[in-house]
Structure 1
Amino acid sequence: MQPRTFYNLHHKEMLFEDVFRNIKSFMEQQPIADYKLMLGTDSQVHPRLTRFITGIVIQRLGRGVWACATKTIVERKMTQLHERISYETSLTEEIASLFTEHHKDELIQLILPHIYDGATFSIEGHIDIGAGKKNRTREFVREMTGRIESSGLEPKIKPDSFVASSYANRYTK
């Protein structure tokens, strides 16, 4: 099995360690800031396959972002909504698992000397589901948010799950 690769507008084939170096470099530029590391997956069913895109976004609140994505193809139409949402969540969990305790500690150590100056760091898991009465995915909210929490991420659903519902969504078409 080949290692998972990531891409963005500037780089076409990054390994996870390249992604991590970019995130760390982005944070090193301004360690006194509010940072959110956000992961999320969206999918699109096509005639012969289902395309999943998982996004990784590091946001310096009010001062920019660095982002990348990775693609997963399932060679069939996944028409069952629960199966697709569950697989999206699994892919987000998989990417979250790449951020080992060592990786997270390295990022925390960047801002730790600056917490009294207002620096913060959080990690979120964005799920492309909503709790609204008209949303077909509302029945999955408890299950999927529980899975994301058990991965050590703060779960976010619509309208706060923009990495899944906007960033990743853009690349599923």
Structure 2
Amino acid sequence: MTNDFLFQNLQEKAMTFEQVFDRIIRFMTLNRNGNYRLMIGTDSQVHERHTVFITGIVILNEGKGAWACIRKVTVPRRMDRIHERLSQETSLTEEVVSLFTEEKKNVMIDIVLPFIYKGATFTMEGHLDIGSGNRNKTKIFVEEMTARIESMGLEPKIKPNSFVASSYANRFTK
């Protein structure tokens, strides 16, 4: 498994996490009075001889735009068991979340803090590519995976509210 912490988006390739964090801070300082949601989620796709995992990081200023990037990890085998794949997706999300240390979280909070009384907000969410609907085969894993995300201090989101995993990251797994 390649575990390089390199990120990319349509504008930049091979960004380190420090560069990603710098881009997030730059984006947030453009409008300190924003409603920011830092969302992290992973999706996967099983291919013929390997499995691709894409972790997306999205900083969204509600109604005013977003900045995003991805991290790609390839496992050199088919991961056909759904629980194994969902667990790996959650682990990769947790791995990226762990890079946002308390110090880094405080830097982001300090950007909006002077503007809280004007309505500024900051939240962190963990997006899971699972759903609780009756016809969703991942519903039996919702409690387990959401508990893991909550234990990291994030608000867990599942389908249909987990668009970073189920839509953004999904695009890059093909």
Q: TM-score, normalised by structure 1?
A: 0.99
Separation in structure 1 between the aligned mates of residue 85 and residue 3 of structure 2, nearest angstrom: 23
Give the deviation of 1:104 after TM superposition.
0.2
What is the aligned partner in structure 2 of residue 22 from structure 1? 23
Give the deviation of 1:111 after TM superposition.
0.4
Identity of aligned residues (%): 60
SS in structure 1 at match of 2:12: coil
Separation in structure 2 between the aligned mates of residue 67 and residue 87 of structure 1, nearest angstrom: 21
SS in structure 1 at match of 2:167: helix
Letter in 1 for 2:15: M
Q: Name the Cα RMSD after superposition.
A: 0.9
What is the aligned partner in structure 2 of residue 72 from structure 1? 73
Separation in structure 1 between the aligned mates of residue 23 and residue 29 of structure 2, nearest angstrom: 10
User: Could you tell me whether the CA contact under 8 Å between 2:38 and 2:124 is conserved in 1?
Assistant: yes
Letter in 1 for 2:36: Y
Separation in structure 1 between the aligned mates of residue 137 and residue 5 of structure 2, nearest angstrom: 31
What is the aligned partner in structure 1 of residue 146 from structure 2? 145
Give the deviation of 1:2 after TM superposition.
6.9
User: Could you tell me whether the CA contact under 8 Å between 2:41 and 2:55 is conserved in 1?
Assistant: yes
SS in structure 2 at match of 1:158: coil
Aligned residues: 173
1:23-172 residue pairs with structure 2 within 5 A? 23-172=24-173
Letter in 2 for 1:13: A
Give the deviation of 1:3 after TM superposition.
4.1
Q: Give deviations 1:57-104, integer Å, cap 9, x for gaps.
A: 000000000000000000000000000000000000000000000000
SS in structure 1 at match of 2:149: helix
* Displaced runs of 4 or more, over 6 A: none
User: Could you tell me whether the CA contact under 8 Å between 1:3 and 1:15 is conserved in 2?
Assistant: no
Separation in structure 2 between the aligned mates of residue 2 and residue 64 of structure 1, nearest angstrom: 30
Q: TM-score, normalised by structure 2?
A: 0.98
User: Could you tell me whether the CA contact under 8 Å between 1:54 and 1:164 is conserved in 2?
Assistant: yes
Separation in structure 1 between the aligned mates of residue 5 and residue 32 of structure 2, nearest angstrom: 29
Separation in structure 1 between the aligned mates of residue 45 and residue 103 of structure 2, nearest angstrom: 34
Separation in structure 2 between the aligned mates of residue 8 and residue 16 of structure 1, nearest angstrom: 13
Any unmatched runs of 5+ in structure 1?
none
